[in-house]
Structure 1
Amino acid sequence: MTGEEVLQDGVHRRVVRIGDTVRRPAQPWTPTVHALLRHLAEVGFDRAPRPLGLDDQGREVLTFIEGDCGPAGWARVADDHGLRAFAHLLRDYHQACAGFAPPSGATWAGDPQERGETAGPDRDPGEPVVCHGDFGPWNVVWRGRRPVGIIDWDFARPAPRLHDIAYALEYTAPFRDDTECLHRLHHPQVPDRRRRLELFCTAYGLDSAAGVPEAVIDRQQDTTELVRRLAAQGRQPQATWVANGYLAELERRTAWSRAHRHLFA
């Protein structure tokens, strides 16, 4: 189609920009995610795309959020200011979605049955939030040093707030070795991981960081099992990841975190 700017062209999806909109392949969970995004707009949370339905090719249509995202996000969260802003954004989103009531028959990605209307074992009934599910630096849109949007909501699903917090901290504390921190994650020096974890938790509003490192390790293990399960169902990109040996990489990361638990407490 004339006027399409390709934003992503991977094995599992082609994402394009047309004017002020983004077009992405619709999924079984798209109606549920759109209900969530409409709720966010209604309560005044302006850092998520607004859903505009489907186009004539059956693709979901979302408003485009101008700014830098993807690989550019790593450098934004390497300093204290960016890390705090990242934590504040997650806190603000969780507050905005707290009153969301999923529609009847809600469908979520990653649920073994793809049904989200009942609480699963990792849903804390005292914290009725829908986690983003993939809250990493690459899925935040930045303008300068200010985060202005959260994108890629495919893995949103009901879960305790700690589900998102632990996932974010894996990448921003980070739970990675020194070489990766310096050469891929844009840290100017070896990070003080314990201080960064505590800084994030304080900025988010947690009373304590106690137990958070263990939650990150548990989340890493959960991610490995989710990728394994989705790949077995033939889902993409997980099936391709597993075929290319990605499970071994996920297991290596979890093993590193367990072996270096002392760096975070």
Structure 2
Amino acid sequence: MHELLQFLNHSGFEYAPDFIGVDEKSNRECLSYIDGEVALRPWPSVLRTLSGLEQIARMLKQYHQIVVKFEPIGAKWHLADRDTTDSCIIRHGDIGPWNMVWMGDRLVGVIDWDFAEPGTILEDLAQVAWHCIPLKPPRRSTEAGVASEDIEERFDFFCRTYGVSKELVLQNISIIHDQEIDRMKTHGVKGVEPWATFLERGDLEVVIEDSLWLRQRYNLV
């Protein structure tokens, strides 16, 4: 993760904190501070607008164009169920509103890179669409402050702005759903964090509900 953050900062990616070093006394990592507020529910007004989605899509585009050149050497990942391949990038791994920092109406940072891991660009886009459109049952989108009737317009706009087909994103949301369900069932029950906490607070049922809703809404197999 430290190598990734240093690479991103040296490559001109402005949204990630920089790795400063490890404090010898506390043995804790030191990162640069990103001033602003994370998007907790209900979301800040900018994230409920197309402007907010546009900024997220353009940030992701820039990240993907840069990180595709990053080559981790001898890296050991938090979980051993993902391996690097020629089609992989290093994903953030936990990218959602709770890890996006806003200063007023401007996206200024993405934090908590602890679970960066091998994955695909489409999986990155799928995770953002799932959580930031959000492609969730009406009750869940309403909690974020997004009316269910606005979901499709937001999804269309996000995909157009990035330059990706909705169909590919939808297919990969299902992949992300299945992965999260499997990790909670496999690692959460063994006490591996953060999946143990996810399991304890009821996230398994939430993801299953989201998955069923998505498959029904878009007639996914």
Q: Is TM-score (shorter-chain normalized) higher than 0.5?
A: yes
Please give the alpha-carbon distance, in whole angstroms, between the structure 2 residues aligned to 1:60 and 1:197.
Answer: 37
Q: C-alpha displacement at 1:72, in angstroms?
A: 6.2
Matched residue, 2:179: 222
- Partner of 1:158: helix, strand, or coil? strand
Task: State the TM-score, normalized to the length of structure 1.
Answer: 0.75
Does residue 35 of the first structure (1) align with residue 8 of the second (2)?
no
Per-residue CA deviations over 1:38-74 (Å, capped at 9, x if unaligned) read: 1011111121001112112111111110011141683
Contact 1:133 1:163 in 2 (8 A): no
1:37-52 equivalences in 2 (<5 Å): 37-52=5-20
Does residue 146 of the first structure (1) align with residue 114 of the second (2)?
no
Please give the alpha-carbon distance, in whole angstroms, between the structure 2 residues aligned to 1:241 and 1:209.
Answer: 28
Higher relative contact order (CA 8 A, sep 6+): 2
Q: C-alpha displacement at 1:234, in angstroms?
A: 1.9
Aligned-residue CA RMSD in angstroms? Answer: 2.1
1:149-160 equivalences in 2 (<5 Å): 149-160=109-120
- 2:53 is aligned, of 80, 83, 86, to 83
1:1-265 equivalences in 2 (<5 Å): 33-55=1-23, 56-71=25-40, 74-75=43-44, 76-104=46-74, 106-112=75-81, 118-119=83-84, 123=85, 125-126=86-87, 128-182=88-142, 184-187=143-146, 189-206=147-164, 208-261=165-218
- Identify unmatched segments of 5+ residues in structure 2: none
Please give the alpha-carbon distance, in whole angstroms, between the structure 1 residues aligned to 2:171 and 2:133.
Answer: 13
Q: C-alpha displacement at 1:240, in angstroms?
A: 3.0
- Partner of 2:37: helix, strand, or coil? coil
- Identify unmatched segments of 5+ residues in structure 1: 1-32
Contact 2:41 2:144 in 1 (8 A): no
Contact 1:134 1:164 in 2 (8 A): no
Please give the alpha-carbon distance, in whole angstroms, between the structure 1 residues aligned to 2:186 and 2:178.
Answer: 12
Higher-Rg structure is: 1
Q: C-alpha displacement at 1:181, in angstroms?
A: 1.8
Letter in 2 for 1:100: F
What percentage of aligned pairs have identical amino acids?
A: 31
Q: C-alpha displacement at 1:109, in angstroms?
A: 2.1
Contact 2:42 2:144 in 1 (8 A): no
Please give the alpha-carbon distance, in whole angstroms, between the structure 1 residues aligned to 2:139 and 2:191.
Answer: 34
Higher helix share goes to which structure?
2
Contact 1:48 1:150 in 2 (8 A): yes
